[in-house]
Amino acid sequence: MLNACILLKVVPTRAELILEAVKEIRGVRKAYFTYGRFDIVAFVEAENYKDLRAITTKINSIDGVRSTETLAEA
Amino acid sequence: MVSACVLIRTRRGEFEDVVKTVRQLKGVERAFPVLGRYDVVAELDVPDHTELGKVVLRMSRIAGVVFTETLVEVKP
């Protein structure tokens, strides 16, 4: 399994919807709103890098997600 | 319970030792080395914010750790 931590910046008015959508994505173990430089953090457990890419693509395609920074397990 | 994500930068080549030490800290649910702008990510679950402060302080004192950034969960 491949761990990853995905940091999101989102449009505030859509934050609630985005967090719900992120939580429903297969592979997302945990996700919550955060204080600090990012709005949402999501912890992911992917099968492999290809699966991780599918998850990050899905997250990036959610309406209102401004940017994401993915920290994939080395 | 309060959750937090701690982003850690280590001195070059020392992330393996740092990960091992971080994993032993009470309150650390999971920790793993990463690629990207940071070297290690730690997932914390602690009873309250004061405990969170203690764990992050301990983390920042680990040999090889040069920078930490804590993203604290916003509790509804």
CATH code at A31? 3.30.70.920
Phi, psi at residue A47, to the nearest 5°? -65, -45
Question: What pLDDT sits at residue B75?
Answer: 85
Q: Is the ipTM of this complex over 0.85?
A: yes
Digit-coded pLDDT (tens) for A9-60: 999 999 999 999 999 999 999 999 999 999 999 999 999 999 999 999 999 9
A20 in any annotated domain: yes
3-state secondary structure of B63: coil
B-chain residues within 8 Å CB-CB of A36?
A: 69-72
Asked whether the beta carbons of residue B5 and residue A73 sit closer than 8 angstroms, the reply is: no
Question: What pLDDT sits at residue B76?
Answer: 76
A74 in any annotated domain: no
Question: What pLDDT sits at residue A52?
Answer: 97
Of A36, A38, A73, the CB nearest to B32: A73
A31 in any annotated domain: yes
Q: What global pTM score does this model have?
A: 0.94
Left, alpha or beta for A64 (phi > 0: left; psi -120 to 50: alpha)?
left
Domain that holds residue A61: 2-69
Kindly give the parts of chain B with pLDDT less than 50.
none
How many domains is chain A partitioned into structurally? 1
B-chain residues within 8 Å CB-CB of A12?
A: none
Of B15, B34, B74, the CB nearest to A71: B34
Indicate which of B41, B45, B67 best probes the interface with A, i.e. most A CBs within 10 Å of its own CB: B41
Question: What pLDDT sits at residue A31?
Answer: 98
B-chain residues within 8 Å CB-CB of A71?
A: 7, 34-38, 41
Q: What angle do CA A39, A44, A16 make, to 5 degrees?
A: 35
In whole angstroms, what is the distance from residue B5 CA to residue A20 CA?
19
A43 in any annotated domain: yes
